[in-house]
Structure 1
């Protein structure tokens, strides 16, 4: 591969660069963009994803014998064709040299990262102008009372049609089975907290058992921190709190007692409990490794995200308002929350029946038959 992503850690901050593997030089424009994302405090995982998206794009340009800034001089149609071809290049698996084909949504995400990179170039270097495919068509619409509204339409329409995917929710019996299959109480507590709080895995792994747990009220809080040793972060720089059940709280106290000697040397709730990294904060990759082991052992596939879906659907069944579920999950938009919920046809019909029983003859249709 002609390029590689290089990670350098200074104190608690990770820096990402793209390097030419032949000349061993740092590629200036992409690396400057990645440095910018670090300075505006994007999460390391987000910056890493952007780094690889740009790396793939550089490899695509290398095959075409083109430079990043050449694209600005292309006519609109050629620019569109260029980026559409990049999408299909990704779709064909050329970026990883593997036969497996990524999903359309993944391909689109890579291109959107590349577009963000180009927008950064445009702001930093005005002499390059702007990409024509990122320009906006503007239409000024005026409503009945004379209020003007500007409607913008992005000029690029070449994205691949994203697959309609609905996140799967874990089931209670599956959670119980996996809990029983766990070989230590740390993994069991992790599962319990994911299911009872609806927190993201990054939020769970960032919990400080000294500062973030209200032991009197059985409440666990999450805060946005940038200096977590395991790179765990609360998304959207937010603060939330969640109450756990009495049973899970008692299990939490059992865990703290059992691993007290390990935990006393730092403040992270979840740590490695054996091996050379014993006592170090647990990382996301280790959690997914645990879920993989449990799947091989039980035949049940669970993920932290499936447990978030479980949390949302159990609260819906309990009668929580959509806004309350959305707040508990830390969503910015209700549309995101709706995608988590399993609305089945029978529920919709039952809800409609209940509505019409309470609101019969809304339009007086029966009088039309007289």
Structure 2
């Protein structure tokens, strides 16, 4: 049995995560304080939950090695490097879980857990006013330029022992499959939900937080994302910034049909998307309900879909239509354009096609005809 476990408590619809010692029941002070710090920094509950599990895994790893947090500072560079490399190997082998059926984590996930551990060490150093930091986090300097060419110097502390990452490219869904799903939807709410995911590129937490009276411009057919952390259904925008998206006239017509069709239920609360049947009829629709709906559609059609696949569809459809990368990135609400690149499923056939088009336009660029 693991010595350190993650627990969550609800207080007025807010989630609070902390780490507890299993046998004594005592709360582990510094890691729990770090999680509260993230809560106060308006980090999303899902992110805080992942942080809590990452820290609990590391504390259990330390316990197996009969070490404590402060012991790591006393290690020499090579010892520290070996310690954190061993933690990655321990994670990769699935030692962080006692479940036999656990799917082993990929390299990206293991590295993400370790990065969270490093962030906790940095917090601990600032909180306790440590005179030294981890030796393995060497200072590196990166020079980058933004979209208009302004030079910026970034200082980062990096660890050189991470597992090799393959690079992530998310799955998308094709337009013809979206059409099939729309035809098999049980009601207009499900159709509107799929259409808005495909036409706005919003995250599901952003879309479920839309309030019909405040966040829709009915004249210009624009949907707004407003950051709120008190949504009744737990929906939450990832970044605390205002975004908006224009939808097509055809989708707006179906949106209005949905609102009219379920008007009596919708006007009884604030949210655009509500439960239209069952025990929670008239209550705000939750993420769990969305995934249950998509599983029902998969059983009917054989088509697997997720909100994130529709977000990838949004990005790729606009890339193929000629949108600039910066515009796609802004529409998706990404802070780094590198994240947007992972959404773009560029195929080898597309590269051949654009190469053919390029050579057709510029056949004579090397003056080869004069060499023959």
| Alignment TM-score > 0.5, same fold | yes
**Structure 1 residue 311 displacement after superposition:** 1.1
In 2, Cα distance between the equivalents of 1:196 and 1:137?
Answer: 40
Matches within 5 A, 1:307-322: 307-322=310-325
Q: How does 1:211-290 map to 2 (within 5 A)?
A: 211-290=214-293
Q: Which region of structure 1 is more displaced relative to structure 2, 267-276 or 105-114?
A: 267-276
1:114-146 deviation digits (Å, cap 9, x = unpaired): 111111001111236211111325799xxxxxx
Aligned to 1:136: 139
Quote the residue 1:74 is aligned against: 75
Tell me, yes or no, if structure 1 residue 114 matches structure 2 residue 86. no
Q: C-alpha distance in 1, partners of 2:172/2:236? A: 23
Aligned equivalents of 2:152, 2:320: Cα separation in 1: 40
Structure-2 change in CA distance of 1:312 and 1:366 (3 Å): same
> Matches of 1:323 and 1:54 in 2, distance apart?
35
Counterparts in 2 of 1:84-233, with a 5 A limit? Answer: 84-99=85-100, 100-127=103-130, 129-136=132-139, 154=157, 156-233=159-236
**For the Cα contact (< 8 Å) 2:139–2:157, is it kept in 1?**
yes
1:144 corresponds in structure 2 to none
Secondary structure of the corresponding residue to residue 340 of structure 1: coil
User: What is the DSSP-based 3-state SS (H/G/I as helix, E as strand, rest coil) of the residue aligned with 2:130?
Assistant: helix
| TM-score between the two structures when normalised by the length of structure 2 | 0.89
The 8 Å contact of residues 73 and 134 in structure 2, kept in 1 or not, is answered as yes
Q: Are the aligned partners of 1:315 and 1:325 in contact in 2 as well (CA < 8 Å)?
A: yes
User: Any idea what SS the aligned residue of 1:16 has?
Assistant: strand
Deviation string 1:234-263 (CA, Å, 9 cap, x unpaired) is: 222222211112222121112212222222
Q: Does the CA-based 8 Å contact 1:72-1:128 persist in structure 2?
A: no
Q: Greater helix percent: which structure?
A: 1
Cα deviations across residues 270-307 of structure 1 (Å, max 9, x unaligned)?
Answer: 12233333333222233223222322332211111111
* Cα distance in 2 between the residues matched to 1:150 and 1:192: 41
Report the count of equivalent residues.
362
Q: Which 5+ residue runs of structure 2 have no aligned equivalent?
A: 144-150
- Sort the Cα spacing of 1:151 and 1:112 in 2 relative to 1 into closer, same or farther, 3 A: closer
Q: For residues 69 and 282 of structure 1, do their structure 2 counterparts lie closer, same or farther at Cα, with a shift above 3 Å needed? A: farther
1:34 counterpart residue number: 35
CA distance in 2, matches of 1:243, 1:165: 29
Is 1:304 the counterpart of 2:307 in the alignment? yes
Deviations 1:84-118, CA, capped at 9 Å, x for gaps: 11112111222222342111111111111111111
Q: Which residue of 2 aligns with 1:24?
A: 25
Q: Is the 8 A contact 1:167 1:340 kept in 2?
A: yes
Separation in 1, partners of 2:369, 2:29? 74
Distance 1:149 1:190, change over 3 A: closer
TM-score normalised according to structure 1 size: 0.89
Aligned with 1:328 (options 326, 331, 334): 331
Whole-angstrom CA distance in 1 between matches of 2:127 and 2:156: 24
